[in-house]
Chain A
Amino acid sequence: MMESSETSAQAGETVTVSLTVNGEPRQLQVTPNVVLLDALRDDLRLTGTKKGCDHGQCGACTVHVDGKAVNSCLRLAVMCEGRHVTTVEGLARDGQLHPVQRAFLEHDAYQCGYCTPGQMMSAAALLEDERIAADDASVREAMSGNLCRCGAYKNILEAIQDARRDVTAGTGEGA
């Protein structure tokens, strides 16, 4: 983790937060009560990350912070000084879809698509996490923080297990 300077802001005061988003250094000008999710969307216009509940109850806003899947609706932007954030816009590399994206397309692992960025960010992190077993039941449990009201879970599971073959074969690289 990058060392960074102290942050101090009065209520309502706008401060600069420097962070890395999808590999690019970015700066945010935000007050302390701005949430990472809203900063990504409203300020950086990275609108792929979605708001479904704003309370950590649905998973639509899942992004990676320093490689870990988190709910961006429950993290203040000012808490992200020096952090590395990856959103769905950073999942594809060099114009190539991430194996999880390819598998979601192939398996029709979505319907309306609104929870999909969050699903894929969780899936991409899961496939890189050796602590989570590869069997279907473990994947289902690990993915339960991403609700899909369209109910595409069957195809989501199939897509993740399919992408696993690509990721473990080394053709893909986790975000």
Chain B
Amino acid sequence: MDTQVIGHRTPRVDGENKLTGRADYTTDWYVEDMLHGYPVPASIAHGTLEALDIEPVLAMPGVVAVYHHGNFPRLYRSPSSQAHQDQVSEVRLPFEDERIHYDGQYVAMVVAERYEQARAAAQALQARYRQDDGARPGLLYTREDGRPLESEGGSRGDPESAYERAPVKIDHVYGIAPESHMQMEMHATLAQWRDGRLIVHESSQGVIYQQKAMARIFDLPEEQVEVISHYIGSGFGNKLFMWPHAVAVAAAARELGRPVKAVLPRQQDMESGGNRPASRQRLRLAADEQGRLQSMRHDSTTETSFVHPYVDSVGSPTLSLYACDNAAISQHLLEVNHGTPCPMRAPGEVSGIYALECAMDELAIALDMDPLELRRRNYNHEDPAKGLPWSSKHLDTCYDSAARRFGWERRDSAVGSMTEGDEILGWGMATSSWFAGRQPCMARVELRADGTVLAACGTQDIGTGTYTVVAQTVAELTGVPLDRVEVRLGESSLPAGPLSGGSMATATTLPAVAAAVRAAIDELKEVATDEDAPFTGADPDGLTFRDGALVDAQGKRVTFDELLTGQKLGSVNGDGQAAPGDEQQQYSFRSFGAHFVEVRWDPAITRLRVSRVVSSIDIGRAVNPATARNQVEGAIVMGMGMGLFEKLDYDPRDARLINNNYSDYIVTSHADMPDIDVELLDNPDYAFNEFGARGVGEIGLTGIAPAIANAVYHATGKRIRELPITIDKLLDI
């Protein structure tokens, strides 16, 4: 497809709003008569709330109400069905009973006139607990495995006997600490009721899902609920599905007859607003002398809370990434007394690929083979898990290009052999991958008499650039310049759009927008060929639309704004929808890439820094190369955190979260930035959709942590199998 706008770098259409402070994030909404809610978190992780001393708090300045188990209105649970799009992050309603299942679980919510008053009252509220013994600590502190998950298993061939027969094998256990999303904007809700209708501003990655869940919980018709999320201070998965705070705020607003807003304090956001669950993964790989994989087994355990069975599917990439006839995955789920986990960027796969790609490195060492060469020898051209050809796979090009730019051929495989002054260089690599998914989607486009075009869809822009790629699509198909395209997203009253998650929003939304553009143009042609119209009597199919105008075979050209104005019409509308189709039976869809990482290791002071990352990623078409590249670069930054810094520290004695803040939970800072060289291959995947785009939000994160771990081994000779790789693990004590 020869394109003018799509595939070209353009500044974000919402950029100026973000740069001037005008962008209206949920936290920025203030409405008349609004009250401030402040949840009160439990200070135990396992036990019972025995008493709350409400009266003194009610007497404090500005306090309007305190909600808790004793006075919270009766509501219904959402069925939390993915199929019905009413999924929630935690099915348990706030204040449902007096049991405490995790540190930070809400025991009350104070509502006051001013924020400071609500906070002071929440801190003053005295709670008495009965703390039970035996709080179950996180996965990293127990050998328990929990229950097996039939749904997460899969196998082919006979991996067990193939493993026994093979000459070269490895068998190791890898662990990942629980992580926090640490999105910059905390969870926030503003709820107001108008004539029985619930209007919610929420920092949400899924306004449609929240609309439906709210309707179930408050027993309302869906059309009586509106959820709005124009700008989101990102989410990384923890804003896909609604959390209990939103229910508490909406209920308080109903009871009080006034709007209520609550912004979770960072501590509460980390305790009760989602996390990536810890995982423990056993990898057994076996190969023949030439490095051809004979057997792959990947047995995992992940954790969840006692109130919601979240499953992080870590094993699935192992069945697809390499050619191997004998493979099996299995998974267990263990309930622990932590806040409920939820999807976090590249959920499941990033964890599984970490273990797999470290195991591949260990296998390469066992084979005395270059780790890149091992990947090449096990390259596949079809998805062994589905028995379908890949729609478009260029991983070999990624390997070649990234290795060349990195200088991989200069790597001396001997541990600690590449020195520079006090420092030792370590070079490691890993494969990167994320499945390509698409959902059904609707969109609406209006060609308007003022010469502008409106595109609307009930999806969201979480910072990935959805506003911009939708505008680019409209501009591409209409020829109308970007500054005359208006995009509306983030409202549940708009045509139903997808979650902003799983790297699916672009691939899902753009075909629907394109269909809507075409429908609007068809409508315009009808208008143009009506009586007393510029093309009266002409065959609508004989007209073409380009550069914002209808043109007939004779070259007569009328712009759509002239046409609409002349016909005294404000606009013509087009509704479009799109969904995945037959291609799903013909191909398997997945993005691939490769990361090469250099670390610098100063053993005399145990200082480890990532100094260089070179990546080649194939995401099909990058609709906007600037925003797409930014996604991968940002994922590398997050992957450094996963590899080196990030760990939610729960005290194993009582399962309380110790580092519930931005100071003690370490994320990558600006000073940690290595040189980053990201290349996006431009191979449109037209089998997937008409724009050839597979999505880009997740893939960059996969493979970074193992590439770092592999580089650390190369530099230090230490194989650290538990993330994060912190200083204490590198020191010989």
Contact = CB atoms under 8 A, between A and B. Distances in A.
Direct contact of A and B (CB under 8 A): yes
Interface string A143-157: 110111111111111
A37 B15 CA distance: 23
A105 B667 contact: no
B636 A149 contact: no
A24 interface: no
Interface stretch (A2-10, A39-47, A127-135, A167-175): A39-47
A112 B120 CA distance: 31
B15 A52 contact: no
Contacts of B232: 112
B30 interface: yes
- Which DSSP category, helix, strand, loop or mixed, fits chain A's interface? loop
Given A55-B662, A55-B663, A114-B25, A151 B635 contact: yes
A79 interface: no
A92 to B, nearest CB: 6
B670 A111 contact: no
A144 B669 CA distance: 6
A149 B234 contact: yes
A58 interface: yes
Contact of A149 (B231, B631, B667): B667
Interface residues of A, number: 58
Contacts of B231: 112-113
Given A55-B661, A151-B633, A140 B20 contact: no
B603 to A, nearest CB: 22
Nearest to A43: B114
B206 to A, nearest CB: 16
B143 interface: no
A110 B17 CA distance: 12
Nearest to B12: A108
A111 B11 CA distance: 12
A49 B549 CA distance: 43
A147 B662 CA distance: 9
A47 B231 CA distance: 13
B441 to A, nearest CB: 22
Given A53-B266, A112-B232, A157 B670 contact: yes
Interface residues of B, number: 60
A104 B134 CA distance: 51
B21 A47 contact: yes
B183 interface: yes
Interface in B10-44: 11-12, 14-25, 27-28, 30
A46 B21 contact: yes
B18 A52 contact: no
A26 B596 CA distance: 54
A140 B671 contact: yes
A53 B662 contact: yes
A57 B659 CA distance: 13
Contacts of A48: 20-22
A49 B21 contact: yes
Contact of A31 (B17, B18, B116, B186): B116
A116 B181 CA distance: 18
B66 interface: no
B28 A47 contact: yes
B20 A154 contact: no
B626 interface: yes
Nearest to A116: B18
B670 A50 contact: no
Nearest to B18: A113
B182 interface: yes
Contacts of B631: 111
B16 A105 contact: yes
Contacts of B186: 51-52
A115 interface: yes
A120 interface: yes
A55 B659 CA distance: 13
A56 to B, nearest CB: 8
Among B24, B463, B668, max chain A CB count under 10 A is at B463
Among B19, B27, B233, B663, max chain A CB count under 10 A is at B19
B720 interface: no
B18 A151 contact: no
Given A87-B21, A144-B670, A42 B114 contact: yes
B21 A111 contact: no
A12 B234 CA distance: 36
Contact of A53 (B21, B181, B463, B661): B661
Contacts of A104: 15, 19
Among B184, B232, B638, max chain A CB count under 10 A is at B184
A88 B667 contact: no
Nearest to A155: B630
Nearest to B637: A151
Contacts of B27: 47, 50-51
A1 B451 CA distance: 51
A116 B662 contact: no
B148 interface: no
B627 interface: yes
Per CB-CB distance, the 5 closest pairs between chain A and chain B, nearest first, are A48-B21, A151-B637, A112-B463, A114-B233, A113-B18
14 contacts: A42-B114, A51-B27, A87-B21, A105-B11, A112-B462, A114-B233, A140-B673, A147-B184, A148-B634, A149-B184, A149-B236, A150-B234, A150-B634, A151-B638
Given A108-B11, A113-B19, A114-B233, 18 more contacts: A42-B30, A51-B186, A52-B662, A55-B661, A58-B184, A104-B19, A105-B12, A108-B626, A110-B15, A110-B18, A110-B19, A112-B183, A112-B185, A144-B670, A148-B670, A151-B668, A152-B630, A154-B676
